A and B are shown apart, each in its own frame.
Chain A
Amino acid sequence: NAGVTQTPKFQVLKTGQSMTLQCAQDMNHEYMSWYRQDPGMGLRLIHYSVGAGITDQGEVPNGYNVSRSTTEDFPLRLLSAAPSQTSVYFCASSYRPPWDSLPRNEQYFGPGTRLTVT
Chain B
Amino acid sequence: GQQVMQIPQYQHVQEGEDFTTYCNSSTTLSNIQWYKQRPGGHPVFLIQLVKSGEVKKQKRLTFQFGEAKKNSSLHITATQTTDVGTYFCAGGNDYKLSFGAGTTVTVRA
Q: Give the interface of A toward B (CB within 8 A).
A: 35, 40-45, 90, 92, 97-101, 105-112
Contacts and interface: CB of A to CB of B under 8 A. Distances in A.
B102 A97 contact: no
Contacts of A35: 99
Contact of A98 (B6, B94, B97, B101): B97
16 contacts: A40-B9, A41-B101, A42-B88, A42-B100, A42-B102, A43-B88, A43-B99, A44-B99, A45-B96, A90-B43, A92-B43, A99-B31, A99-B93, A99-B94, A106-B48, A109-B43
Nearest to A112: B42
Contacts of A108: 45
Interface residues of B, number: 25
A17 B6 CA distance: 36
Contact of B42 (A45, A100, A106, A109): A109
Contacts of A112: 42
Interface of B: 6, 9, 30-31, 33, 35, 41-45, 48, 50, 88, 90, 92-97, 99-102
Main SS of the interface on chain B?
strand
Given A105-B48, A106-B33, A106-B48, A99 B43 contact: no
Given A98-B90, A101-B50, A101-B92, A40 B42 contact: no
B13 to A, nearest CB: 20
B6 to A, nearest CB: 8
Contacts of A110: 42
Contacts of A106: 33, 45, 48
A41 B5 CA distance: 10
A101 B92 CA distance: 8
